[in-house]
């Protein structure tokens, strides 16, 4: 399996040791973090990235995620870079631009050391053209993100969702123009259906325009729908996976269990309806399996859930958010070790669900094997 397919290179540790003496001291921390190729591109990204949806806290929805100011954000960026995590994910819509602004200030003076991923498509105003993936919206949206981030280029620019009212050709051509101008280096999509992504890739191939190299998706031990259609597509088309909400919208923190109320600090109190639905009994079944493996490994439930994701095909990067330094340091401990094949199989079994049509039917045919 190639690196973009979600498995670490078997030579990673050996090569890291061999190259240590050739790196300046300021870069040695990068050897602590595994890097994977981002789809059909030459870009390498760390397996963990920092999600900055917790920066700003504007509005009830984002306040539930967190409200880091510039000082705290700068400290979190420091910790990330010390650990080799140089990839930061944001979006224009996060706290209505405040997340981008704070990230831009937190990385001031070290832009060349980091990779920035941001997104456009969702509404940034009340007008009929203040949203979507049209040329009219995307060009000023990109310019606004550049200003807020205080940079002249974006490393990875996502379409935050699929715009069914804009011709795909218009969207891809606009993105290609941004790449050709140097304002964007690579393009990606997020929350697409299989046909949305496949048709977009076909348009890129037909006209020789920039191609989506990654797909940012919801994927977790309590949300495996991604495996049915999008993972096989990613394998076939060399589109890497970047995972958002890897802990199931805050459900796999280890604090949610049978017979216990929600913890006092949880985004689920105010954002459960906007997040992925998870039946309680199914969640408890998965948490039971995680508990068993936690006792065996000495790792926390979040660390095990994140490690499971990092061993799935196509996964190049998992986005992790944190309200504070302690939470981020705990999440960092999800790397540097691997679950055993037997432990992964137990988690797979605990989180298995009945597939919808046509996937249950396809699984009966031996020439349509599971992607995992």
The pTM of the full predicted model, rounded to 2 decimals, is 0.90
Concatenating the DSSP letter of every residue in 234-254 gives HHHHT-EEEEE-TTTTTT-SS
Cα angle for residues 234, 236, 242 (degrees, 5° grid):
15
Q: How far apart are CA 218 and CA 223, in angstroms?
A: 7
Q: How far apart are CA 50 and CA 53, in angstroms?
A: 9
pLDDT digits 0-9 by tens, 241-297: 999 999 998 899 988 888 776 665 555 545 556 678 899 999 999 999 999 999 999
- Output the CA–CA distances (angstroms, integers) from residue 277 to 193, 249, 283, 351, in the order listed: 18, 9, 10, 14
Residue 9's pLDDT is what? Answer: 40
Q: Does residue 52 contact residue 323 with C-beta atoms inside 8 Å?
A: no
Residue 11's pLDDT is what? Answer: 32
Q: Which of 94, 157, 212, 219 is catalytic?
A: 94
Q: How far apart are CA 185 and CA 142, in angstroms?
A: 12
Concatenating the DSSP letter of every residue in 280-336 gives HHHHHHHHHHHHHHHHHH---HHHHHHHHHHTSTTEEEEEE--SSHHHHHHHHTTSS
Among candidates 232, 236, 220, which has minimal Cα distance to 371?
A: 232
Residue 67's pLDDT is what? Answer: 79
359 a catalytic residue:
no
Find the helix or strand (DSSP H, E) in which 140 lies: helix 135-149
Q: Centre a 10 Å sphere on the Cβ of residue 297 and count the other Cβ atoms it contains.
A: 15
Q: List, in order of start, the domains of the chain with CATH numbers.
A: 27-362 (3.20.20.100)
Q: How far apart are CA 299 and CA 316, in angstroms?
A: 22
Cα angle for residues 66, 281, 304 (degrees, 5° grid):
55
For 369, residues 6+ apart whose C-beta sits below 8 A from its C-beta are none
Q: What is the pLDDT along the chain (372 residues), one digit of tens a residue?
A: 344 555 544 333 333 333 334 444 445 444 579 999 999 999 999 999 999 999 998 777 777 767 789 999 999 999 999 999 999 999 999 999 999 999 999 999 999 999 999 999 999 999 999 999 999 999 999 999 999 999 999 999 999 999 999 999 999 999 999 999 999 999 999 999 999 999 999 999 999 999 999 999 999 999 999 999 999 999 999 999 999 999 998 899 988 888 776 665 555 545 556 678 899 999 999 999 999 999 999 999 999 999 999 999 999 999 998 877 888 899 999 999 999 999 999 999 999 999 999 999 999 999 988 888
Tokens representing residue 347 in the block? 């988690």
Residue 298's pLDDT is what? Answer: 97
Q: How far apart are CA 307 and CA 160, in angstroms?
A: 25
Residue 266's pLDDT is what? Answer: 57
Residue 12's pLDDT is what? Answer: 37
Q: Strand, coil or helix: what is 351?
A: coil
Residue 255's pLDDT is what? Answer: 84
For 273, residues 6+ apart whose C-beta sits below 8 A from its C-beta are none
Tell me whether the omega of the peptide bond preceding residue 253 falls within 30 degrees of 0, making it cis. Answer: no
């Amino acid at each position: 399996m190639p690196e973009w397919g979600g498995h670490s290179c078997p030579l990673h540790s050996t090569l890291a040791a061999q190259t240590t003496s050739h790196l300046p001291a300021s870069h040695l921390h990068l050897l602590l973090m595994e890097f994977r190729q981002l789809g059909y591109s030459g870009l390498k990204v760390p397996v963990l990235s920092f999600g900055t949806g917790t920066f700003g806290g504007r509005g009830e929805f984002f306040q539930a995620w967190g409200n880091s100011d510039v000082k705290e954000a700068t400290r979190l960026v420091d910790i990330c870079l010390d650990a080799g995590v140089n990839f930061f994910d944001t979006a224009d819509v996060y706290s209505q631009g405040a997340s981008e602004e704070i990230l831009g200030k937190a990385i001031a003076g070290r832009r060349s050391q980091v990779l920035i991923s941001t997104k456009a498509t969702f509404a940034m105003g009340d007008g009929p053209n203040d949203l979507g993936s049209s040329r009219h919206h995307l060009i000023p949206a990109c310019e606004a993100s550049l200003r807020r981030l205080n940079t002249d280029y974006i490393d990875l620019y996502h379409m935050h969702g699929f715009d069914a009212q804009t011709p795909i050709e218009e969207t891809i051509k606009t993105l290609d123009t941004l790449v050709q101008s140097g304002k964007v280096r690579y393009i990606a999509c997020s929350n697409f259906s299989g046909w949305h992504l496949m048709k977009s890739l076909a348009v890129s191939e037909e006209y020789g325009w920039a191609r989506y190299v990654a797909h940012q998706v919801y994927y977790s031990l309590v949300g495996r729908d991604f495996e049915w259609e999008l993972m096989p597509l990613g394998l076939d088309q060399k589109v890497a996976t970047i995972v958002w909400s890897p802990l199931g919208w805050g459900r796999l923190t280890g604090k949610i269990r049978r017979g216990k109320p929600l913890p006092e600090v949880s985004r689920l109190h105010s954002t459960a309806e906007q997040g992925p639905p998870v039946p309680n009994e199914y969640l408890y079944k998965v948490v039971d399996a995680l508990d068993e493996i936690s006792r065996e490994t000495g790792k926390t439930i979040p660390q095990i859930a994140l490690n499971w994701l990092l061993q799935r095909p196509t996964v190049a990067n998992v986005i992790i958010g944190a309200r504070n330094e302690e939470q981020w340091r705990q999440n960092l401990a999800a790397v540097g070790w691997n679950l055993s094949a037997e432990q992964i199989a137990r988690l797979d079994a605990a989180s298995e669900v009945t597939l919808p049509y046509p996937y249950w039917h396809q699984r009966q045919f031996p020439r349509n094997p599971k992607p995992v």
